[in-house]
Amino acid sequence: MFYWLLKHLLLGPLMRLTCHPKVQGAEHIPDRGGAILASNHLAVADSFFLPLMIRRRLTFLAKREYFTTPGVRGWLKRQFFNAAGQVPIDRSSASAAQAALDTGVRLLAHGKLLGIYPEGTRSPDGRLYKGKTGVARMALEAGVPVIPVVMVGTDKVSPIGKKMWRPHPVQIRFGAPLDFSRYAGLAGDRFVERSMADEIMYSLMELSGQEYVDRYATSVKDREPPPPRLTLKAS
């Protein structure tokens, strides 16, 4: 009920009024059945715009930190994520990561639409970084398609390090589903999963126009000061 209120009466209308989101390619989302929406990740706002601007209900495997932010802003985030059915995951160890993958496969097997950020974290500079293979493992084990989706402009709505959101046009672009049925039965093959993850990231690069970096975003955040942010132009 709270999710319906957020989507249709509260946050949804407010976001449409202030950011005029445009959705392209939504016909690629299946009407029913399990599927993965694999998205680039520019800002916290991604996790609000994407589920609120599509018809089907979307579940994210959200990092646990989204549920532990203090203050009023943290309370609002928790309410939204809980109401939307978002699942907090612990990424602190190998066993925790496996539990997160198992949760994703279970949701897909029940016909859910699952949102994934293959980069594993927000881009530190607007570029597109190397994808992790968890999305490939889930797609293979659940036997579902992967739909590439890119967010444009959300980094201007909620810039990194800023608490207040700002009005700015947003675009959400969906690409054609990627069918990996040719790899059926090969879950766990690290070469196959790496190939799939790279194909997903290539699709995101083509769809977004972002510069691709063949490194994990987490390694850049941990070891280097971020370079100047790049801006995606809406088309």
The number of folded domains in the chain is 1
Give pLDDT, residue 60: 86
Low-confidence ranges of the chain (pLDDT < 70): 1, 66, 73, 84-85, 90-93, 223-235
Give pLDDT, residue 221: 74
Enclosing H/E stretch for 106: helix 94-109
Residue 18 lies in a domain: yes
Task: Find the CATH number of the domain harbouring 132.
Answer: 3.40.1130.10
DSSP state of 57: -
CA angle, residues 213, 141, 150, in degrees to nearest 5: 35
What's the rounded Cα separation, in Å, for the pair 192 and 47?
29
Give pLDDT, residue 225: 54
Residue 122 lies in a domain: yes
Exposed e or buried b for every residue in 172-202, given b needs 16+ CB within 10 A? bbbbebbebeebeeebeeeebbeebbbbbbe
Residue 43 lies in a domain: yes
Residue 28 lies in a domain: yes
pTM of the model: 0.86
Question: Which whole-number Å values give the CA distances from 208 to 6, 80, 99, 172, in the listed order?
Answer: 28, 27, 31, 10
What's the rounded Cα separation, in Å, for the pair 147 and 46?
16
Give pLDDT, residue 85: 66
Nearest of 71, 188, 204 to residue 131 by alpha carbon: 204
Q: Mention every residue, 6+ apart, whose C-beta is less than 8 A from residue 171.
A: 21, 22, 23, 24, 151, 152, 153, 234, 235
The boundaries of the domain holding residue 38 are: 2-223
Residue 164 lies in a domain: yes
Q: Mention every residue, 6+ apart, whose C-beta is less than 8 A from residue 83.
A: 2, 3, 6
The structure tokens listed for 93 are 């160890």
Residue 215 lies in a domain: yes
Residue 233 lies in a domain: no
Residue 130 lies in a domain: yes
